């Protein structure tokens, strides 16, 4: 685990991450990718510190089957130049630690009104606002390790 200079823990868990393009056929930019659970549904997610919310791939959202009566409102979001309509929900993000303690955190989730085919090769995203801002995290890009704790 990582520690502050005074010895206090900075992170309480660590998990392997991938640092590679999401789709090698369409891009060559490396992304930081984690396996996470959202309400128990496992999905690969890209860390997007410039984005908002946890934006679910429609296939992951289908696995969860959100109750529309629990929506906290409709929302429209732009991703890579395309506009998507959907709904916002409060949900539980879980990062399963390989060392230390796993983490569960309530986050805001955007569920697009799109099919997996319409969504295409876009991944699930973990945006800073409403999601990652509730975590303390660090990345070791050499060892491909993601360190985390609740903020």
118/121 Cα distance (integer angstroms): 9
Beta strands in the chain (DSSP E): 13-16, 18-20, 31-38, 41-52, 54-55, 73-79, 82-95, 99-100, 103-112, 124-129, 135-140, 145-150
The pLDDT score that the predictor gives to residue 98 is: 98
**Distance of alpha carbon 117 from the chain centroid:** 20
The pLDDT score that the predictor gives to residue 1 is: 87
Share of the chain above pLDDT 70, in %: 99
Decide the pairing of beta strands 31-38 and 82-95: antiparallel
Give the tens place of pLDDT for each residue, 47-106.
999 999 999 999 999 889 888 889 999 999 998 888 999 999 999 999 999 999 999 999
- Which of residues 12 and 120 earns the better pLDDT score? 12
- Hey, what domains does the chain have and what are their CATH numbers? 13-150 (2.40.70.10)
Torsion of CA 87, 92, 98, 99, to 10 degrees: 130
Contact predicate 52/129, CB 8 Å? yes
């Amino acid at each position: 685990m990582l520690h502050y200079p005074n010895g206090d823990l900075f992170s309480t868990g660590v998990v392997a991450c991938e640092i590679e393009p999401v789709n090698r056929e369409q891009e060559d930019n490396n992304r930081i990718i984690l396996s996470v659970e959202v309400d128990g549904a496992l999905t690969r997610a890209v860390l997007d510190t410039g984005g908002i919310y946890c934006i679910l791939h429609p296939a992951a959202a289908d696995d969860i089957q959100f109750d529309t009566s629990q929506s906290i409102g409709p929302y429209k979001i732009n991703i890579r130049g395309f506009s998507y309509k959907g709904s916002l929900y409060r949900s539980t993000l879980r990062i399963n630690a390989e060392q230390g303690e796993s983490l569960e955190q309530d986050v805001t989730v955007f569920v697009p009104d799109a099919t997996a085919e319409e969504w295409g090769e876009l991944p699930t995203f973990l945006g800073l606002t409403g999601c990652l801002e509730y975590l303390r995290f660090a990345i070791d890009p050499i060892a491909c390790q993601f360190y985390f704790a609740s903020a």
